């Protein structure tokens, strides 16, 4: 009897309470930021894992040249701050884990020993200048533990852990090549220069899933889907700067089957057209005061900062929303501060999204302006935020997915259709001025429709409707429209411009009705990832929700006549979807 009462209570509170929420805004806000990247450090947050995957899937048919990826310049952010040593490789690995997809890497060619080093000559200055004595203490730059080979094996370890349909994604390695030479009477200690790396291609060809200009010529970059799933490739090695001496003894042309080279590197005369990539790489300063979007053609585009003019959260976000992958190139007080930037690094979803909670976060008054005011407009002072109650880490134990050490763990948030997926309310996506936000499908909002024959033609139907009605309303227009979804950052800008002055949100064609946390385009689209789910981890990870499901089943028996609001809605939705059953195969690649 006591048990039944408890179940009764639990039953109402886990569902009913959630819907008629009376909590303070701050509690709702806590829920909203529950899976923030900062709390999940040093792993990818659950929300970002889902956001990055959705963004990848939505752009399946878009050229990889349009990717907008977060980046880091390893020299200032990792090596100069944290040391040229094996510990830094752990930090590199952490950056990979938390979803950094672009890296700038400086490589130094020692002309005398004909070896490639990770350590800059400035660090070896005292030795080069002749100050070397045999008892020199090499805490840094010791090639026995810190060398290009070990950096690549760190990368390969990450790649092999994420080579699955859920987590694979494109990456860019941007190389800056430098030469240095030492006077003939200077003997460099072997432990600093004997790297055994005499050929760059021999090293880079060992990278798993490396993209070669022979398979993927620079003038015809493939779509995301073709790259990742048809060709099964991921990592673009690109020479961003060639600062080798004119008289260098290294013949870079020997590496032409491995590397792409930036047109702006200037030294491309003898390179083939399939190697040469025209890229747009700008300093963030050039955007800061821009009122119009700099014209971005179908080139890879990046923006970087400097220590004298570091990214603010606002300029970082601006770079993303203009379609330029921001590359952080200033030292951070603490590497985990990068979480603040990464939280803003999807052009598609807004920060902290998509959340899987049992509350509808759009209940937070002025949520969009709050995020904008409190985060985007704040001068970046990571520690102030870190100490705020908003981001205490008390609920960490359930998080960590995406790029954990253990590949299988990646599937824990992809719980698929085991019928416990009714817990979460926010199954439909709305577009706001700061990106997509997950919300309840019952909400009444205007809808963005998209011309089926011209995908860049979006229009707004400014009638407030629930999600299902919104879908039919677009289709009903004149047969040429369907509910729309921005497929790239340009579509996103176009669609955002359609949001009426007096409204904050409009429906877009994205939902997770079929399976929680699996966001798909189209109403009848199944989650394409079921097959990846691994049972043993699945069971391990969802035990708490399984327990709840059992409790819920018991509660249902006890309260047969009652209906669980969420379940009721879900059934209603399922029914309506079935009624709606047109062949809507606009899905996500598997
Ligand atoms: C190397 O030679 C230069 C002059 O040619 C001299 O200035 C320098 O001190 C020498 N260094 C060593 C380590 O002998
Ligand atoms: C490079 O580092 C790895 C691992 O730290 C080590 O096993 C390897 O021997 C090093 N290579 C050289 C040439 O010292
Ligand atoms: C470097 O190359 C030399 C000669 O090829 C070899 O003797 C040595 O074992 C190599 N060192 C490492 C760490 O691979
Ligand atoms: C090669 O060029 C660099 C700088 O351009 C110069 O310092 C160096 O002495 C030159 N080396 C030779 C062997 O000419
Ligand atoms: C942008 O505006 C700021 C403040 O108005 C100014 O200090 C800065 O020089 C401007 N940057 C550029 C590139 O014009
Ligand atoms: C960096 O931040 C993390 C997490 O916020 C913290 O655990 C760590 O102690 C900090 N490191 C330093 C050097 O302050
Ligand atoms: C949102 O902003 C309003 C006005 O600035 C403020 O009163 C409210 O407390 C904020 N809500 C949250 C959850 O931060
Ligand atoms: C939360 O952070 C504190 C201090 O930063 C740390 O001692 C504690 O272990 C963390 N809790 C979890 C669950 O990680
Ligand atoms: C990841 O690996 C590190 C070191 O190998 C270990 O300490 C940590 O517990 C692992 N984390 C998970 C989630 O497996
Ligand atoms: C597609 O729609 C866009 C935006 O309305 C328009 O600029 C463009 O001309 C249209 N293209 C075609 C081929 O009609
Ligand atoms: C991509 O294009 C192909 C062929 O046009 C189509 O079958 C597929 O559904 C599209 N995928 C997405 C995600 O738009």
- Averaged pLDDT, 489-511: 94
Question: Is any atom of ligand 8 closer than 6 Å to the C-beta of 396?
Answer: yes
Mutate to test the pocket of ligand 11, among 53, 55, 61, 230 (most ligand atoms within 8 A of CB): 61
Residues in contact with 297: Cβ distance below 8 Å, sequence separation at least 6, in sequence order: 280
Q: Two tokens at 212?
A: 């070669």
What sections of 102-166 are H helices per DSSP? Answer: 125-126, 148-162
Alpha-carbon radius of gyration of the chain: 26
Q: Look at residue 583 in the predicted model and tell me its pLDDT.
A: 38
Residues in contact with 577: Cβ distance below 8 Å, sequence separation at least 6, in sequence order: 468, 513, 523, 524
**Distance from the CA of 141 to the center of ligand 1, in angstroms?**
23
Question: Is any atom of ligand 2 closer than 6 Å to the C-beta of 144?
Answer: yes
Contact 449, 442 (CB under 8 A): no
Mutate to test the pocket of ligand 9, among 41, 405, 412 (most ligand atoms within 8 A of CB): 405
Please name which of 483, 493, 439 lies closest in space to residue 459, comparing C-alpha atoms.
Answer: 483
Q: Look at residue 425 in the predicted model and tell me its pLDDT.
A: 83
- Averaged pLDDT, 56-74: 96
Contact 401, 516 (CB under 8 A): no
Across 497-506, 562-571, 577-586, least confident range: 562-571
Higher model confidence: residue 178 or residue 133?
178
Mutate to test the pocket of ligand 1, among 129, 182, 183, 189 (most ligand atoms within 8 A of CB): 183
**Distance from the CA of 576 to the center of ligand 2, in angstroms?**
61
Please name which of 54, 51, 155 lies closest in space to residue 101, comparing C-alpha atoms.
Answer: 155
Please name which of 519, 526, 487, 493 lies closest in space to residue 225, comparing C-alpha atoms.
Answer: 487
Gap between the Cα atoms of 59 and 469, Å rounded: 26
pLDDT digits (tens, 9 = 90+) for 411-469: 333 333 333 445 578 899 999 999 999 999 999 999 999 999 999 899 999 999 999 99
What sections of 118-246 are H helices per DSSP? Answer: 125-126, 148-162, 190-193, 200-204, 224-225
Task: Answer yes or no: is pLDDT of 561 > 70.
Answer: no
- Averaged pLDDT, 32-54: 90
Nearest atom (ligand 5) to Cα of 289? 1
Residue nearest to atom 9 of ligand 6 (CA): 334
Q: Look at residue 247 in the predicted model and tell me its pLDDT.
A: 95
**Distance from the CA of 310 to the center of ligand 8, in angstroms?**
29
Buried b (16+ CB within 10 A) or exposed e, 306-335: eeeebbbbbbbbbbbbbbbbbbbbbbbeeb
Q: For residue 42, is the peptide bond before it cis, meaning its omega torsion is within 30 degrees of 0? A: yes
Task: Answer yes or no: is pLDDT of 293 > 70.
Answer: no
**Distance from the CA of 181 to the center of ligand 8, in angstroms?**
48
Judging by beta carbons within 10 Å of its beta carbon (0-12, 13-18, 19+), is residue 535 exposed, middle or buried?
exposed
Across 9-18, 114-123, 342-351, 432-441, least confident range: 9-18
Q: Look at residue 416 in the predicted model and tell me its pLDDT.
A: 36
| Ligand 11 neighbours by CB, cut-off 6 Å | 60-61, 586, 588
Contact 525, 514 (CB under 8 A): yes
Q: Hey, how many other C-beta atoms are within 10 angstroms of the C-beta on 247?
A: 8
Contact 583, 522 (CB under 8 A): no
| Domain ranges, ordered by start, for the chain | 101-278, 411-534, 538-576
Task: Answer yes or no: is pLDDT of 256 > 70.
Answer: yes
Task: Answer yes or no: is pLDDT of 124 > 70.
Answer: yes
Gap between the Cα atoms of 300 and 276, Å rounded: 12
Task: Answer yes or no: is pLDDT of 531 > 90.
Answer: no
pLDDT confidence bin for 23, thresholds 50/70/90: very low
Gap between the Cα atoms of 475 and 590, Å rounded: 27
Gap between the Cα atoms of 194 and 182, Å rounded: 15
pLDDT digits (tens, 9 = 90+) for 193-212: 888 899 999 999 999 999 99
Question: Is any atom of ligand 7 closer than 6 Å to the C-beta of 259?
Answer: no
Residue nearest to atom 4 of ligand 4 (CA): 245
Residue nearest to atom 7 of ligand 6 (CA): 336
Task: Report angle CA 414, 416, 418 to the nearest 5 degrees.
Answer: 130
Question: Is any atom of ligand 6 closer than 6 Å to the C-beta of 543?
Answer: no
pLDDT digits (tens, 9 = 90+) for 377-399: 655 444 334 333 333 333 222 22
Q: For residue 112, is the peptide bond before it cis, meaning its omega torsion is within 30 degrees of 0? A: no
The 3-state secondary structure of 252-312 reads HHHHCCCCEEEHHHCCCCCCCCCCEECEEEEECHHHHCCCCCCCCCCCEEEEECCCCCCCC
**Distance from the CA of 452 to the center of ligand 5, in angstroms?**
42
Q: What does pLDDT average to over the chain?
A: 79
Collapse the DSSP code of 456 into the 3-class scheme (helix H, G, I; strand E, B; otherwise coil) and give the result: coil
Please name which of 555, 528, 546, 565 lies closest in space to residue 440, comparing C-alpha atoms.
Answer: 565
| Ligand 5 neighbours by CB, cut-off 6 Å | 285, 288-289
Contact 44, 75 (CB under 8 A): no
pLDDT digits (tens, 9 = 90+) for 46-61: 899 999 999 999 999 9
Q: Which ligand is nearest to the CA of 126?
A: 1
Gap between the Cα atoms of 503 and 436, Å rounded: 14
Question: Is any atom of ligand 6 closer than 6 Å to the C-beta of 25?
Answer: no
Task: Answer yes or no: is pLDDT of 409 > 50.
Answer: no
Extended beta strands in 38-161, E state: 71-73, 102-110, 115-117
| Ligand 9 neighbours by CB, cut-off 6 Å | 400, 404-406
Q: Look at residue 461 in the predicted model and tell me its pLDDT.
A: 95
pTM above 0.95, yes or no: no
Question: Is any atom of ligand 7 closer than 6 Å to the C-beta of 366?
Answer: yes
Collapse the DSSP code of 415 into the 3-class scheme (helix H, G, I; strand E, B; otherwise coil) and give the result: coil
Q: Look at residue 369 in the predicted model and tell me its pLDDT.
A: 78
Give the strand pairing for 445-451 and 171-180: unpaired
Q: Look at residue 6 in the predicted model and tell me its pLDDT.
A: 36
Q: Look at residue 586 in the predicted model and tell me its pLDDT.
A: 41
Nearest atom (ligand 9) to Cα of 43? 13
| Ligand 1 neighbours by CB, cut-off 6 Å | 130, 183, 185-186
Q: Look at residue 137 in the predicted model and tell me its pLDDT.
A: 61
- Averaged pLDDT, 151-167: 95
Residue nearest to atom 14 of ligand 7 (CA): 370
Q: Which ligand is nearest to the CA of 588?
A: 11
Question: Is any atom of ligand 10 closer than 6 Å to the C-beta of 457?
Answer: yes
HSE-CB at 446 with a 13 A cutoff on CA atoms is 20
Task: Answer yes or no: is pLDDT of 216 > 50.
Answer: yes
CA 299 to centroid of chain Cα atoms:
20
Task: Answer yes or no: is pLDDT of 36 > 70.
Answer: yes
- Determine phi and psi for 64, rounding to 5 degrees: -60, -20
Higher model confidence: residue 400 or residue 215?
215
Q: Two tokens at 144?
A: 């026995």
Collapse the DSSP code of 78 into the 3-class scheme (helix H, G, I; strand E, B; otherwise coil) and give the result: helix
């Amino acid at each position: 009897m006591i048990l039944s009462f408890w179940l009764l209570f639990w039953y109402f509170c886990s569902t009913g309470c959630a819907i008629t929420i009376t909590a303070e805004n701050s509690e709702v806000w806590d829920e909203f930021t529950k899976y923030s990247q900062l709390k999940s450090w040093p792993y990818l947050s659950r929300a970002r894992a889902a956001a990055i995957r959705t963004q990848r899937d939505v752009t399946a048919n878009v050229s990889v040249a349009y990717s907008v990826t977060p980046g880091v310049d390893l020299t200032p952010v990792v090596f100069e701050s944290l040391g040229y040593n094996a510990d830094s490789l752990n930090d590199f690995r952490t950056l990979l884990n938390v979803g950094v997809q672009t890296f700038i890497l400086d490589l130094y060619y020692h002309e005398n020993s004909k070896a490639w080093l990770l350590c800059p000559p400035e660090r070896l200055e005292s030795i080069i200048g002749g100050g070397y004595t045999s008892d020199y203490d090499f805490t840094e730059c010791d090639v026995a533990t810190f060398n290009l080979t070990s950096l690549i094996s760190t990368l390969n370890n990450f790649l092999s852990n994420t080579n699955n349909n859920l987590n694979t994604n494109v990456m860019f390695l941007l190389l800056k090549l430098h030469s240095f030479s030492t006077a003939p009477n200077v003997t460099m200690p072997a432990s600093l220069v004997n790297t055994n790396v005499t050929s760059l291609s021999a090293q880079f060809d060992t990278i798993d899933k490396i993209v070669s200009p022979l398979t993927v010529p620079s003038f015809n970059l493939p779509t995301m889907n073709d790259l990742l799933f048809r060709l099964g490739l991921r990592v673009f090695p690109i020479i961003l700067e060639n600062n080798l001496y004119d008289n260098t003894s290294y013949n870079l042309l020997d590496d032409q089957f491995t590397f792409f080279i930036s047109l702006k590197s200037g030294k491309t005369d003898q390179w083939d057209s399939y190697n040469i990539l025209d890229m747009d790489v700008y300093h963030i300063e050039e955007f800061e005061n821009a009122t119009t979007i700099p014209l971005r053609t179908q080139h890879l585009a990046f923006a970087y900062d400097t220590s004298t003019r570091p990214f603010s959260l606002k300029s970082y976000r601006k770079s993303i929303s203009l379609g330029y992958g921001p590359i952080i190139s200033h030292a951070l007080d603490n590497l985990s501060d990068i979480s603040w930037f990464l939280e803003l690094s999807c052009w598609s979803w807004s920060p902290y999204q998509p959340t899987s909670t049992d509350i509808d976060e759009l209940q937070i008054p002025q949520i969009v302006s709050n995020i904008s005011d409190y985060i985007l407009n704040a001068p970046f002072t990571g520690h102030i935020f870190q100490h705020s109650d908003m981001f205490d880490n008390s609920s960490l134990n359930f998080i960590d997915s995406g790029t954990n050490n253990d590949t299988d763990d990646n599937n824990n948030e992809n719980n698929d259709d085991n019928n416990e997926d009714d817990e979460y309310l926010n199954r439909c996506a709305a577009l706001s001025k700061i990106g997509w936000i997950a919300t309840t499908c019952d909400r009444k909002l205007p809808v963005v429709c998209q011309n089926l024959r011209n995908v860049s033609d979006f229009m707004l139907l400014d009638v407030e409707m629930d999600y299902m009605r919104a879908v039919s309303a677009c289709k009903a227009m004149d047969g040429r429209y369907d509910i729309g979804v921005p497929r790239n950052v340009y579509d996103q800008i176009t669609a955002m411009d359609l949001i009426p002055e007096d409204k904050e949100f409009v429906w877009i064609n994205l939902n997770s009705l079929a399976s929680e946390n699996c966001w798909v385009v189209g109403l009848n689209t199944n989650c394409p990832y079921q097959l990846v789910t691994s049972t043993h981890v699945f069971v391990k990870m969802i035990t708490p929700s399984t327990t709840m499901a059992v409790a819920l089943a018991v509660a249902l028996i006890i309260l047969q006549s009652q209906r669980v609001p969420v379940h009721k809605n879900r059934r209603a939705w399922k029914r309506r979807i079935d009624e709606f059953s047109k062949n809507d195969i606009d899905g996500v690649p598997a």
